Structure 1
């Protein structure tokens, strides 16, 4: 089986590709290697995959928002399934550069839907986001909850992806699964996320920005658990039996929350980082940022029921693992 993984140089994409390759499955990875954060980190991820997996892994640098380039790159490659994780990420950055989100998350997503339709792939698994829940204040977030009041452009593009996928699954009967990721962390993580920012500043003796004066909760999910869930979904495509599903849909299209099902206080996370780093944090308390939400909490009953997803790594284990990797990657002694 050959699987196309978009965003293969990204945090989740790299680790999903790694697990697939370890299982002996061929992976074609694509990524545009943009400079939203350090390109060197993306290059290191791809180099790591290439070094350890050889010919099973093929990587092409391209922008999947360019349909011509996408088709040209895949001309000689059979693609049986797609894991579409590539996107312009970041809630706050969407306030600064909205066009990047329109190009990647809207035009790019349509291109992947068209590719799935043309190739008649057996399954398209794509990344959505917990951000689609917007300002919902009823916790935990359930897939059945309304998601029509986004509080950031990033969230709006991800909700649009879900609706477009529903349409394509209905019209062309391509099985699809959308995954609403909650806060993911772990080795090879992203420098724009709190875990990386806090760790780098604590180790450097610099103040860390603590938004909403620390009154925040996040459903932190360790990367190994996320990868297990993504691949379990890939291997369990929705059946196209024409039956009416929840919400009145007849399309072979599912949406799942994928998280830890355990919201953690931001201040508890900081305490664990202090312990793992071996020094106290200097805190710069700030108000809530535009587009952000005070709490996220995933109801994962649907994905647990359908594919057996059961996250096993709490932040008490995951945080020290991330800090250890961060030290090793940057050559910071203990």
Structure 2
């Protein structure tokens, strides 16, 4: 079985591709290696995967560390390039983790989200449709819950009030996927990720920013005056959940009622899941765990809530537990300790 994983220079895509190869699957990774954040981290992930720069656009490279793993530098919005890749490779399944990420960045760079998350995603759907892909798993986000304050967030709840363009683009991916599941029978599963963290994590995320600032004796920016909580989910727990989902294409829900429609399923082969720790952590407790791992106190710059941010996220993962026996096991203290060890090694800090 050959699987396409997009976003393999990114945090989750990198770890997922390696986990799939280690389980014996053949994997082709795709990424455009954009400069939204420090590309040296992206190059580091690719080197860890057995690839060496430079990466010529549109050329397929084979890992020198992992037999069965390949990589291509390409944009999702490159329609002809995507069609050619699917025709040449014959993918059985696809997992889309490539996207323009970030809530705050979407306030100032909206077109980046349209190009990657909308134009790029329709290209991917069309390629899956025309090349008999058995299952498309795609990354959504906890950001889609927007103004919804009923917690824990449930996939069965309405999410029609996003508060950032990033969230709106992810909600759009869910709608687009359902359309293709309905019209063409393409099995699609969306995963709403909740604050993923761990070694090789994104430099724009709080854990990375806090660690760097604290090691450089700079204050950390703590929004909403610290009155924040997040369902921090360790990367290994996320990858395990994604693999379980990939292995289980959805069927239509025979009990789905069009007069009382459930947003999480459909009469079409379509499904949505939250994937998180189901255990929200107060931001101040998170910072305290980081202080312990680093052996130093943080200087805190307390700030108001930023536009596009929500004060709390908390995932109801009952459906994923019930359907696929999903059980996150990594504590925040253990996860932060592992991240700090990786950070010190990678940056020699």
Same fold, TM-score > 0.5, yes or no: yes
Q: Greater helix share, 1 or 2?
A: 1
The aligned residue for residue 153 of structure 2 is 141
Looking at structure 2, the residues matched to 72 and 177 of structure 1 have their Cα atoms a distance apart, in angstroms, of 24
* CA offsets 1:87-118 (integer angstroms, 9 cap, x no match): 00000000010000001111111111111101
Contact 1:177-1:237 within 8 A present in 2 as well: yes
The aligned residue for residue 323 of structure 1 is 340
Residues 1-334 of structure 1 correspond to what in structure 2 (within 5 A)? 1-50=1-50, 53-240=65-252, 244=256, 247=262, 249-332=266-349
Looking at structure 1, the residues matched to 64 and 230 of structure 2 have their Cα atoms a distance apart, in angstroms, of 33
Contact 2:133-2:186 within 8 A present in 1 as well: yes
For structure 1, which segment, 75-84 or 224-233, has the greater mean C-alpha deviation from structure 2 after superposition?
A: 75-84
* CA offsets 1:201-238 (integer angstroms, 9 cap, x no match): 11111000000000000000000000000000000111
Three-state SS of the structure 1 residue aligned to 2:157 is: coil
Contact 1:6-1:30 within 8 A present in 2 as well: yes
Looking at structure 1, the residues matched to 253 and 220 of structure 2 have their Cα atoms a distance apart, in angstroms, of 52
CA positional deviation for 1:240: 4.4
Query: CA, structure 1 residues 241+216, in 2 after alignment: closer, same or farther (shift >3 Å)?
Result: closer
For structure 1, which segment, 96-105 or 69-78, has the greater mean C-alpha deviation from structure 2 after superposition?
A: 69-78
Looking at structure 2, the residues matched to 250 and 75 of structure 1 have their Cα atoms a distance apart, in angstroms, of 30
- Number of aligned residue pairs: give it: 332
* CA offsets 1:241-260 (integer angstroms, 9 cap, x no match): 76636628211000000000
Looking at structure 1, the residues matched to 266 and 137 of structure 2 have their Cα atoms a distance apart, in angstroms, of 18
Looking at structure 2, the residues matched to 29 and 142 of structure 1 have their Cα atoms a distance apart, in angstroms, of 31
Three-state SS of the structure 2 residue aligned to 1:109 is: helix
CA positional deviation for 1:119: 1.0
Looking at structure 1, the residues matched to 74 and 24 of structure 2 have their Cα atoms a distance apart, in angstroms, of 25
Three-state SS of the structure 1 residue aligned to 2:154 is: coil
CA positional deviation for 1:54: 3.4
Contact 1:242-1:251 within 8 A present in 2 as well: no
CA positional deviation for 1:287: 0.5
* CA offsets 1:271-299 (integer angstroms, 9 cap, x no match): 01111011110111111000000000000
Query: CA, structure 1 residues 268+181, in 2 after alignment: closer, same or farther (shift >3 Å)?
Result: same
* CA offsets 1:293-323 (integer angstroms, 9 cap, x no match): 0000000000111111110011021111111
Three-state SS of the structure 2 residue aligned to 1:304 is: helix
Contact 1:127-1:178 within 8 A present in 2 as well: yes
Looking at structure 2, the residues matched to 321 and 74 of structure 1 have their Cα atoms a distance apart, in angstroms, of 37
Contact 1:21-1:53 within 8 A present in 2 as well: no
Looking at structure 1, the residues matched to 76 and 69 of structure 2 have their Cα atoms a distance apart, in angstroms, of 18
Looking at structure 1, the residues matched to 84 and 189 of structure 2 have their Cα atoms a distance apart, in angstroms, of 26
Contact 1:98-1:153 within 8 A present in 2 as well: yes
Contact 1:215-1:265 within 8 A present in 2 as well: yes
Three-state SS of the structure 1 residue aligned to 2:49 is: helix
Looking at structure 1, the residues matched to 255 and 68 of structure 2 have their Cα atoms a distance apart, in angstroms, of 38
Three-state SS of the structure 1 residue aligned to 2:327 is: coil
Q: When the two structures are superposed, what TM-score results if normalisation uses the length of structure 1?
A: 0.97
